Amino acid sequence: MNSVGKLKILLVEPAHLLRRTVSLTVHSLGTAEVTEAAAYATAEQLCEGQSFDGAVVALDWPPEDALSRGLSLIQQIRAGKSASGASIPIAALVESCNAELLQVLRACGISRILIKPFRVRDVIDTIDSMRGTARLQ
Amino acid sequence: MIKPALPANEKERLALLYELVLLDTPPEERFDKIVEFASNEFKVPICLISLIDADRQWFKARVGIDACETARDISFCGHALLGNEILLVPDALLDPRFHDNPVVTGPPHVRFYAGAPLVCEDGLALGTLCVIDTVPRTLDPVELAILESLRDLVVLELNANRTDADE
């Protein structure tokens, strides 16, 4: 957490309106400090340089190429290859979820899965729910 | 019904509205996306970006109604324009300003209204982003904050018009 005790959250979401609305609202509520990434490359760079208390990551699933970059970002964090703790709470935002993806996400220790269509309110509640888990880190 | 009063800065407000060249222009995706998003977020049948002209309110973006404008005298948004905070009307039938308003007693039968004024940098309110339902309801503090955020995104888009006009 930062010096004033706010959760530091990484939000990786390409959809502009959703990402900005979550970020602006959380900022105005004063419950967390959200760092936005519209692209996975930006998120990877942020993860190398900054420590986060939690992350909300939109997954490119099924992946366009052989590898899901969102999933790789999560696996990188879990492997301790980021400036954040390996066990920080991570929520996944997905278009849909089948048994295969569920198994993969469980293996990654995902704390919450939000399946579209979800609301900004759901993402904000998810970030709020990370507070307890983050304090235990 | 109580007609909305005119804000003290009405002349400057209208001058800015005309300068931005928004009235009577075709729909734009950047605004349409916001009203569709807000309508889904708040699960309301009607959502509008309403711009208040001298004697009418004109909808730059709309979900849930066919009309592209109504008289200012009967507009909820004309009232919302008078403050900086969201105007929240949980049940229009219980509110002396609106209980006998024709859009309450007749189609589209407005009962719930929440309108966030579109206040530009110099304090001039051009209209509102509003969500409307046909049943009484309210918004909790988190929902109010979400509506304010969406309003801020509309204002950013309006200011982009201003920058374009300046160039």
Residue in A with minimal Cα distance to B42? A119
A46-98: pLDDT as tens digits: 999 999 999 999 998 877 777 789 999 999 999 999 999 999 999 999 999 99
Which residue in the set A20, A24, A120 is minimally distant from B41, CB to CB?
A120
pTM (predicted TM-score): 0.93
Using the predicted structure, report yes or no on whether residue A4 has a pLDDT greater than 70: no
Which residue in the set B40, B146, B148 is minimally distant from A117, CB to CB?
B40
Mutate to test the interface with A, among B142, B143, B144, B150 (most CBs of A within 10 A): B142
B59-110: pLDDT as tens digits: 999 999 999 999 999 999 999 999 999 999 999 999 999 999 999 999 999 9
C-alpha dihedral sign at A79, A82, A88, A90: negative
Question: Does residue B5 belong to any structural domain of this protein?
Answer: no
Count of domains observed in chain B = 1
> What is the C-alpha to C-alpha distance for residues B20 and B102, in angstroms, rounded to an integer?
31
Chain B CB contacts of A17 under 8 Å are 33-34, 37, 153
State whether A119 and B40 contact (CB < 8 Å). yes
Using the predicted structure, report yes or no on whether residue A1 has a pLDDT greater than 70: no
- As given in the structure block, the two tokens for residue B84 are 């900086």
| CATH value at residue B149 | 3.30.450.40
Question: Residue B165: pLDDT band by 50, 70, 90 thresholds?
Answer: low
Element (H, E) at B51: strand B46-52
Q: What is the DSSP letter of B153?
A: H
CA-to-CA separations, A25 to A4, A18, B55, B59, B134, in angstroms, rounded: 18, 11, 34, 25, 26
CATH of domain A7-132: 3.40.50.2300
With beta carbons less than 8 A apart as the criterion, state whether B131 and B143 touch.
no
CA-to-CA separations, B163 to A43, B27, B51, in angstroms, rounded: 31, 20, 19
Using the predicted structure, report yes or no on whether residue A11 has a pLDDT greater than 60: yes
Question: Does residue B1 belong to any structural domain of this protein?
Answer: no
Question: Does residue B61 belong to any structural domain of this protein?
Answer: yes
Full domain range(s) for residue B60:
10-166
Question: Does residue B117 belong to any structural domain of this protein?
Answer: yes
Q: Which of B80, B84, B86, B82 is nearest to B98 (CA)?
A: B80
| pLDDT recorded at residue A67 | 79
State whether B34 and A17 contact (CB < 8 Å). yes
Using the predicted structure, report yes or no on whether residue B111 has a pLDDT greater than 80: yes
B11-68: pLDDT as tens digits: 999 999 999 999 999 999 999 999 999 999 999 999 999 999 999 999 999 999 999 9
State whether B149 and A121 contact (CB < 8 Å). no
Question: Does residue B2 belong to any structural domain of this protein?
Answer: no
With beta carbons less than 8 A apart as the criterion, state whether B119 and B44 touch.
no
Residue in B with minimal Cα distance to A118? B41
